[in-house]
Amino acid sequence: MEIVKSDKRRVEYNPDKIRKTLRRAGAKPDLIERVLKNVEAKLKDGMTTKHLYAIVRHELRRASRVIARRYNLRDSLLKLGPAGFKFEKYVASILTAYQYEAETPEDELSGLCVRHEIDVIARKNGRSVMIEAKFRNRLGDTVTLKDTMATWSAYLDLVDGAKSGKCPHFDELWIVTNGRFSERALQFGACRGIRMVGWGGDEHSLPRLVDHATLYPITVVDDLRQWELDGFASKGLMLCREIADEDPRKLAKQVGLPSERAGKIISSCQAVVAGK
């Protein structure tokens, strides 16, 4: 049985890949096997990966709505667009949860040659990190070598600017994306010591960072309205984990929601964080 990937390549169907993604979302072994059995009954040779995972999501929603919300992390991240401002806020919230002091600065910083817009600045243990948040509006979009080299060039200009007293000093550069990196971008990043955090399988991937500390975005609440998301973003409340501990009346006042609606969002986030 072969599956057609987004780049038109045909690969052999591998159930272990689905098991891995379901396990990442917190599904128990019996649930994983039940979902797989139902999915495989609908498989057809030449099916696209997009269609395959649509079936997985459908079967998972039937079995566990909470695990389905966790599983839909990538789609939830797309809802942070289209501009990327909310994604920057979300990245800062993730780093705060990992004990960094993180901010999304409004003002540009002066490098040696020109001024630069910085998406996120994070500090921990005396080290300062410049973070470029590369939001992608489509699942197939990548961060390319050109993107990576442009970010590296800006970083070097800021490093030189710091030496001349024009801006704060940075010790590290990270690029964080909800998409994937091209192979050449990853090669350049590894050569230059850039921390590349994207959609992939290594220990520093974005889904690993999210799942390890249950840092799911508020957008996993699948009936969240755009104006509600805007309200949460304006208050820097981007994580379900943050919202799960809020008092409904306090949250309603903060974000401008009816108390009943705030309570429902809190309950949804509590279930996502608990995984049940």
What DSSP string describes 251-268?
HHHHHT--HHHHHHHHHH
Give this prediction's pTM.
0.87
Query: Contact at 8 Å (CB) between 16 and 60?
Result: no
Distance CA 88, CA 230 (A): 13
Find the mean pLDDT for residues 56-69.
90
The Cα angle at residue 174 between residues 204 and 157, in degrees rounded to 5 = 165
Bridge partners of residue 175, in order along the sequence: 132, 196
**DSSP secondary structure, 68-88, as one string:** HHHHTHHHHHHTTTTTSHHHH
Q: What is the pLDDT of residues 14-55, one digit of tens each?
A: 999 899 889 888 889 999 999 999 999 999 999 998 899 889
Confidence of residue 74 (pLDDT cuts 50, 70, 90): confident
